Amino acid sequence: MNKLEISQYFPDEHCKLSLYASDPEDNNCEHSHSFQELVIVDEGHGLHVINGKPIFIQQGDVFFICENDVHFYDELGTLKLINILINPQLEFVFLTGIEGLLTRMTGSRAANYGWLTPETKAQCKRLISEIFRKELSSSDNQALKESLFFTLVTHITYAQSQAEYSNTRYKLHKLLSHLQENCFNEIDWQHLANQFHLTQRTTSRHIKEVTGLTPENYLKRLRLVSARVKLKETDMTITEVAFLCGFANSNHFTTSYKKVFGVTPSAERKRAM
């Protein structure tokens, strides 16, 4: 597995923060890294597979990646990400306790992902431009740089506390998070829509708009991506993987798997050996 190192992505080993923007995101190989990441989805949508679990991400989502996380992006669309890299080998000079704010947004659970309105995302992008302005690269400006980073993080956390359930986009964001956490279960779409105070028609239309898939096909995609990770990383039989990931039988699983990924589950496993 590829491990991304601090020396590859930071100007030097004495930098606490660095910036990496992808347009489009092309890192679809599973990897870990020796640094942390605060990630903002600037544009597009796709699947973020972290520690073997697929999580749908879309414009405005925010999440935090720890240095021991293993992840990659399995794209459903064209992702444009803003990655603020944090060197855990160095301490902030003036900030204390900010780690607790960041880990609330841990990327390993969909329910912890933040979401920014377009207006808040624009504010955050302006702050990021200020943080990484060339004039602030000097150690003499460390206090200002850390202050701007703290402002960015508090902007993001405050946006979550102010999100109103009357905001349809926010309700749909939470619905998708719930669906990802429960993708192996049978879904009653009417009950799910009611749970988030939406109509079933609105729910279906939104899922199709942001993923390009019907709700049923999107759910199947989540299950298949989870199954692919298990085929590669566990010794479970194909039948066991099929049942665990919500398929009624292995034949249906094999047919669906080949249709999406172009190979059978058994061929996928052989290729991973």
pTM of the model: 0.81
Question: What's the pLDDT score for residue 187?
Answer: 92
pLDDT mean by block of 10 residues, the chain; 273 residues = 90 91 71 95 88 86 93 80 95 91 90 87 95 78 92 88 64 82 90 90 88 90 89 90 91 93 91 75
Residue 40: name the closest of 75, 4, 78, 84 by CA.
84
**3-class secondary structure per residue, 199-246:** CHHHHHHHHHHHHCCCHHHHHHHHHHHHHHHHHHHCCCCHHHHHHHCC
Question: What's the pLDDT score for residue 259?
Answer: 92
Question: What's the pLDDT score for residue 265?
Answer: 94
Question: What's the pLDDT score for residue 105?
Answer: 93
Find the distance separating the first CA and the last CA of the chain, reported in whole Å: 13
Question: What's the pLDDT score for residue 38?
Answer: 97
Instruction: Determine which helix (DSSP H) or strand (DSSP E) holds 19, and give its type and residue range.
Output: strand 17-22
Domains, in order of start, for the chain:
2-162 (2.60.120.280), 189-273 (1.10.10.60)
Q: What angle do CA 102, 105, 108 make, to 5 degrees?
A: 120
Question: What's the pLDDT score for residue 163?
Answer: 61
